[in-house]
Amino acid sequence: MGARTFILDAWDYRERLLDRALSYEFLTAEAVAAEKKRLTVTRASLVAQFDEHGVQASRLGKSPRTWHGLNTEADLFKKMRMPHIYDLDYAWLSNETHVNIGAIELELQEAFEGKTGFGPKGHLPPEVLLASSHAIPEVLAQLSNLLGLNRHDEAVEMQRTFRDELWGASV
């Protein structure tokens, strides 16, 4: 769909990060210039490869805020007919990454109970296993489709088995 748009948008983002690093004097002007020069050469090579294979830039919507042109990531997952992946995996991982209230609720609860501490809790959160139960079979199914292995149904069954083992057959 928008591979070219995604990659080139990421390059623009990297350039903005370099400008920010310079403004905070984290990098010198010379270091930023050298990195931008390297990025320009790499980007030109990448654009040439896209052109060689006829890969055009495309967006699903008109919003300038996102690489795909839709208003939100939730909109993208809906468009892909995968809202469950957004709701169960992406949103949770995004909340953890951006440290919103959902990410620190357990820590707040423990603080109120006088059990504060730092570091991992000693177990994998079930959400990570849930995300893995979606991602691993999906990758296998896509590889099966791409390589013509005709094993898509086995990958889907893996997800069902993983889910049942993780959450019980009632889910």
pLDDT recorded at residue 122: 58
Chain-wide mean pLDDT for the chain? 84
**Which pLDDT score, from 0 to 100, does residue 32 have?**
96
Per-residue pLDDT of 64-105, as tens digits, reads 888 889 999 999 999 989 898 898 888 888 877 777 777 677
**23-52 tens-digit pLDDT:** 999 999 999 999 999 999 999 998 999 999
Q: Compute the distance between CA of residue 57 and CA of residue 28 in angstroms, rounded to an integer.
A: 33
Nearest to residue 15, comparing CAs of 40, 48, 46? 40
Q: How far apart are CA 106 and CA 116, in angstroms?
A: 10
107 class by beta-carbon count within 10 Å (0-12 exposed, 13-18 middle, 19+ buried):
middle
Residue 120 pLDDT: 60
Q: Which of 134, 127, 128, 125 is CA-nearest to residue 162?
A: 134
Q: When comparing pLDDT for 123 and 142, which is higher?
A: 142
φ/ψ of residue 150, rounded to 5? 55, 40
Q: Which pLDDT score, from 0 to 100, does residue 16 have?
A: 93
Q: How confident is the model at residue 171 (pLDDT cuts 50, 70, 90)?
A: very low
For the residues 129-134, what does the mean pLDDT come to?
Answer: 81
